[in-house]
Structure 1
Amino acid sequence: MKVLHLISGGETGGSRKHVITLLSKFPKDQVVLAVFQEGALAEEARKAGIRVELFLQSSRYDLSILKRLVAFIKSEKFDIIHTHGPRANLFGIYLHKKTKVKWLTTVHSDPSLDFIKSGVKGRVFTNLHLYAVKKMDYYFAVSERFKENLIKLGIERDKVQTVYNGIDFTEEKAEPLSLGDMGVNDTDFVMTMVARLHPIKGHDIVFNALKNINNPSVKLLLVGDGPIQKELEKMVQDLNLRNQVYFLGFRHDVDQLYASSHLGLLASHSESFPLALLEAANQRVPILTTDVGGVGELVSPKETGWIVPVKDTKAYEMAIRDALACYQDNQLSGMGEKLYDYASTTFSLENLYKTTKQVYFDLIDKN
């Protein structure tokens, strides 16, 4: 068996982590990662011992690499193409037609929302992406809810496999970082949000909730970069939250940041199953999340965290207030331990690997 994973290479969020951790479990001669640009993803994959092939584009509209990819797929005799993300999915239409190799995808986000706030061009690419998604041989859904969303798009139920995102859980917590240099005190209530700086991630909901709470001891660490960073920084300034919100950019020490925190946040309008929440669970940190994707399969409300409606600032505010009260009553650590116990047995990387491998073999056997 030989599988080519195809992804743009510019990802810095959950899809990057998903691909690297999954491929690292496979024997090195069974998987190859192809990217269209250098970046953190390719660098981390190489460090993990994954074979990475670069098909450099002069721009994202450069289609000259498609013929090279076809020749590569044929010469290396791949059995399966596994695409990740809109660009790879669109290219998959051509690659599948020219090679006849089995084609599957892991959809990491709602394909109808990937180009939100991109105007006319965004609507065109959304339609093209939805067309591509309907042309594949098989699909991974990272939650039962997302499986149902794919089926509503017209995809046959027996072509969709639910497979939970997974990580390698550790027996010990990471070493917490000292946050004093940022202006965070030991008595502050620290929340960490790991998410691309993108409209779909709902940072504005969190900022407005913080403004309404009006408590300078509540701090927010933002991990990630993205296209609306300047817009979000201006919003923080306009809301007078500069002493509470910290833009940390892309980081390699997320585990340590979570270990230094009291609450993990997610405020997305849409997700499949966020790996960031599993990383928080691994550090025994309770979670506050919007009701997206498969979060209900991870978080038990008031036992291991909070789930609130999407785009509901008031509900988000009240949940932060509730979490702060639990922190002051020394209840949060117990919630975090309970979350870890459940997540570490249900959402392991080993489960993800075994299910993915079996689907690959099943697809090959159908040839």
Structure 2
Amino acid sequence: MRTLFTFHYPADPNAGGPGVTWRLGREYEKLGHEVEFYSLDDLPKKLPPLARFILFPEFTAAKILHSHRHAAIDVIDASTADAWIWGLGLQKLQKQRPLLVARCHGLEHIEHLEYLEESQRGHLKLEWKYPLYRGSIRLWEVATSMRQSDLVLLLNQRDRDFVVEQLGVHPDRAHIVANGIPETMLNLPFEPTPAEPEPIRIAQVSSYIVRKGIQYGTPALNALLKRYPKIEVSLFGTECSADQVYADFDPEVRDRVTVIPYYENHKLPELLKGHHIKVLPTISEGFGVALVEAMACGLAPVTTTAPGPLEIVRDRETGMIVPCRDCEAFEQAIETLILDRAFLDRLRHNAYRSAQRYSWQNIAQDNLNFYEMAQRMRA
């Protein structure tokens, strides 16, 4: 089987959507399949970044035509909105068309609604041009790509409900599939929770942006650092300068805050060594692979009722779940684990065991099974 993966991001294996796609493709290759990737990096460098993003569906359609003529493609596995032009018109002209899959890394319609909410709360200033494309045309492209696909793969139940109930995707074509984690993160040695007076170390692994809930999480972490001198906080993968992050913490606690803007994914277990709690105050999350990675490294997650984390964490069994946008509840959940190390240790053990099932080998086979099912339905 030959699969063409497309994704409207730079081809960075350490990033979220691109990294997930790259690892899934590599797992397909291990199983004997042929894989090709097409990303923003394949577009002409002379185009401005915004133009490359907007024009990516046009270039994707041309890429599919070219590739399919030279070596038949069996499956087009495209991030949502990438293949709407192909799906709406060009695929109908093919005598033998590939299976068209729309892969959602987090539904943009849900993200859009959360951005509007944050804008109303005064936490986010949307640019004047946002309604001209991202908040309108882009959403139509996403919906169109899914309606025209043979198979729609989503990461959580809320996204699936939305595309079926609001966007008109047939329920038989919409399915939930998880993301995986590298084999190097499975079955790592588990380090017990230290006894008093050793410090508790908290890690946040995510970009430092509004969608990740920093406007709710950082005040909670700041308050806890001031209240408990024996805790430390690390922020990994902020994708912004350390100075920007430090500015949100009081000067008196900054010596217990570590910021690492960028890291290579294979180094994450070493970075998380000695940490005990993973925090993710996100307001919109398709899945949350960093949660699973941290759980596999022995951290207990404290996160929110965003759709993605709800697919991963069981409240008070494998972590703590609090309502989105509830800074006080988020702070209290972390404080509970700081004060009750036995409970923290139990959650850490449960989270560690739960994460072992997210191997890419298992996830890849789930995806291939969905391909086969969609092929049979189309026949």
TM > 0.5 fold call: yes
CA spacing shift, 1:304–1:326, aligned 2, 3 Å: farther
* Match in the other structure for 1:105: 102
- 1:293 maps to a residue whose letter is P
Give 5+ residue unaligned stretches, structure 2: 93-97, 116-124
Identity percentage of aligned residues? 19
The question of whether the paired residues in 1 share the 8 Å contact of 2:5 and 2:77 is answered with yes
Distance 1:35 1:265 in 2: 31
Cα distance, 1:353 vs structure 2: 1.0
Equivalent in the alignment of 2:83: 92
Match in the other structure for 1:311: 325
* 2:370 alignment partner, one of 342, 347, 359: 359
| More displaced 10-residue stretch of structure 1: 145-154 or 198-207 | 145-154
2:6 pairs with 1:6: yes
User: Any idea what the Cα deviations from partners look like across 1:229-285, whole Å, max 9, x if unmatched?
Assistant: 765443236x75422332201212111222320101111101122111111121121
Question: Which of 120, 126, 136 matches 2:128?
Answer: 120
* Equivalent-residue separation in structure 2 for 1:285 and 1:170 (angstroms): 13
- Cα displacement (A) at 1:307: 0.3
8 Å contact 1:90–1:132 — kept in the other structure?
yes
Unaligned runs of 5+ in 1: 38-53, 177-185
Deviations 1:72-107 (A, max 9, x none): 3432322222222xxxx4342223333444432221
Identify if the C-alpha distance between structure 1 residues 66 and 274 changes in structure 2 by more than 3 Å, giving closer, same or farther. closer
| Alignment equivalent of 2:260, drawn from 240, 244, 248 | 248
CA drift of 1:7 comes to: 1.3
Q: Which runs of 4+ in 1 moved over 6 A?
A: 227-230
2-structure distance, mates of 1:76, 1:229: 47
| Root-mean-square deviation over aligned CA pairs | 2.8
Alignment partners' CA distance in 2, 1:65 and 1:294: 30
62-71 or 330-339: bigger deviation = 62-71
CA contact (8 A) 1:175 1:256 kept: no
Out of 207, 219, 222, the position equivalent to 1:211 is: 222
Match of 1:171 among 166, 183, 187: 187
Contact 2:239 2:262 in 1 (8 A): no
Structure 1 residues 299-357: Cα deviation after superposition (integer angstroms, max 9, x where no partner): 23223211001011000110111010123xx4423321222223323x33233211211
Q: Secondary structure at the match of 1:342?
A: helix
Q: CA deviation at 1:295?
A: 2.5
More helix by share: 2
**Contact 1:281 1:343 survives alignment (8 Å):** yes
Match of 1:17 among 10, 16, 19: 19
Q: Which residue of 1 aligns with 2:119?
A: none
1:140 aligned residue? 153
The answer to whether the aligner puts 1:341 opposite 2:353 as a matched pair is yes
Taking the TM superposition and a 5 Å limit, the aligned residue runs for 1:210-229 are 210-213=221-224, 214=226, 215-226=228-239
Indicate the SS of the match to 2:255: coil
Letter matched to residue 126 of structure 1: G
The aligned residue for residue 361 of structure 2 is 350
Contact 1:282 1:344 in 2 (8 A): yes
- Contact kept in structure 2, 1:268 and 1:310, CA below 8 Å: yes
Determine if contact 1:193/1:266 at 8 Å carries over to the other structure.
yes
